[in-house]
Homo-oligomer: A and B are copies of this chain.
């Protein structure tokens, strides 16, 4: 059993080794994992405790509770100025199981799906898990790592904006061009974490598209396992039946607690976090450039910097593990994100404090000198 049925995340291998080093007493700085380090707003936790005291956590509807669908629909109106019927909102136990159902339905109902290479590894892996053919579309540093409509040859396309691993943002015009070329699946999980410009939603340019989002990035609720999608009505019966069979329903407590996310003050608190991430980005970006990394696309959102390490290595996979061993700074090798020039790149996340980022840069300086 040498080759696995789907590829694991290489970042997990890095994390595993990092944990071993920590057991040996090393103080590892984690720039590998894409998990925000800030605490969930108190109101969300209070709401969870209230629910625990008053109610039993029963199964909910497979696509989630209606009040949360309404709150999300309202959020779209307020944030993007688009009207979304609550019925089109599908609540999922994290965005991953939603993506699984969605990719299946779009592949079977619409056609082959393209995904960016480099890009979030799940797109390719989930299609492989489903025994469905997908197609990587190479994206290039010279083109800001953006999928160009003219290169899309499939009926459907998934893009991620702000993007993992590059942090680039598609403009409204770009999303429109893509949505006119193919059925667009827009992974908007990093929305709200933007530093220079707003990130438009695909829903602003098309109603015949599907949006994936969730509570794990901007809303900080990683371990609560809650996501959502907005899908065309025609896809709802398939998606609902698949979710019944594959997850039954999303976690009940998380759904009720998440209602608090949309209270005015909570949204303000969450929005103010973008400033924290912006500062971290600025420090890390400046530092990496000084060290000699090339950053062909500077991140406008999300919490990653995709850095060209070819000045130091022609094998970024080996390089990432060397850096870990020598400096106890954990970073993600490009290989996690595809095949297109990924041996040149490594991803730095900035989900840790400015102090730790500065310390990591200092350690890297010693190693690369």
Complexed CA–CA distance, A246 and B125 (Å): 9
A246 neighbours in B (Cβ, 8 Å)? 96-97, 100, 126, 129
Q: Does chain B have a CB within 8 A of A118?
A: no
Chain A 168-219 residues near chain B, CB threshold 8 A: none
Q: Does chain B have a CB within 8 A of A116?
A: no
Chain A 85-104 interface 0/1 with B at a Cβ cutoff of 8 Å (1 = within): 00000000110110010001
CB of A36 to closest CB in B, whole Å = 10
Q: Judging by beta carbons under 8 Å apart, are B104 and A241 in contact?
A: no
Count copies of this chain in the complex. 2
Complexed CA–CA distance, A6 and B238 (Å): 7
A122 neighbours in B (Cβ, 8 Å)? 245
Nearest opposing residue in chain B for A48, CB measure: B52
Q: A58-B223, A224-B252 are in contact. Are A247 and B93 (CB under 8 A)?
A: yes
CB of A180 to closest CB in B, whole Å = 23
Question: Which of A7-15, A151-159, A287-295, A327-335 lies at the binding interface?
Answer: A7-15
CB of A164 to closest CB in B, whole Å = 13
A240 neighbours in B (Cβ, 8 Å)? 8
Q: Judging by beta carbons under 8 Å apart, are B97 and A247 in contact?
A: yes
Point out the residue from B1, B131, B244, B254 that lies within 8 Å of A132, measured CB to CB: B131
Point out the residue from B93, B221, B237 that lies within 8 Å of A4, measured CB to CB: B237
Q: Does chain B have a CB within 8 A of A167?
A: no
A57 neighbours in B (Cβ, 8 Å)? 40, 221-224
Chain A 243-260 residues near chain B, CB threshold 8 A: 244-254
Point out the residue from B53, B96, B104, B238 that lies within 8 Å of A248, measured CB to CB: B96
Q: Does chain B have a CB within 8 A of A59?
A: yes
A100 neighbours in B (Cβ, 8 Å)? 246
Number of A interface residues in the complex (CB < 8 A): 61
Q: Judging by beta carbons under 8 Å apart, are B9 and A244 in contact?
A: yes
Chain A 1-35 interface 0/1 with B at a Cβ cutoff of 8 Å (1 = within): 10011111100100000000000000000000001
CB of A13 to closest CB in B, whole Å = 11
Complexed CA–CA distance, A57 and B122 (Å): 23
Q: Does chain B have a CB within 8 A of A225?
A: yes
Nearest opposing residue in chain B for A241, CB measure: B8
A121 neighbours in B (Cβ, 8 Å)? 245
Q: A57-B223, A58-B35, A132-B131 are in contact. Are A4 and B249 (CB under 8 A)?
A: no
Chain A 328-359 interface 0/1 with B at a Cβ cutoff of 8 Å (1 = within): 00000000000000000000000000000000
Among A94, A132, A225, A247, residue most surrounded by chain B Cβ atoms (within 10 Å): A225
Point out the residue from B104, B250, B253 that lies within 8 Å of A129, measured CB to CB: B104
A142 neighbours in B (Cβ, 8 Å)? none
Q: Does chain B have a CB within 8 A of A318?
A: no
Q: Does chain B have a CB within 8 A of A234?
A: yes
Complexed CA–CA distance, A243 and B353 (Å): 30
Q: Does chain B have a CB within 8 A of A56?
A: yes
Chain A 72-116 interface 0/1 with B at a Cβ cutoff of 8 Å (1 = within): 000000000000000000000110110010001100110000000
The 5 A-B pairs at the shortest CB distance, nearest first, are namely: A223-B252, A57-B223, A8-B241, A125-B245, A225-B251
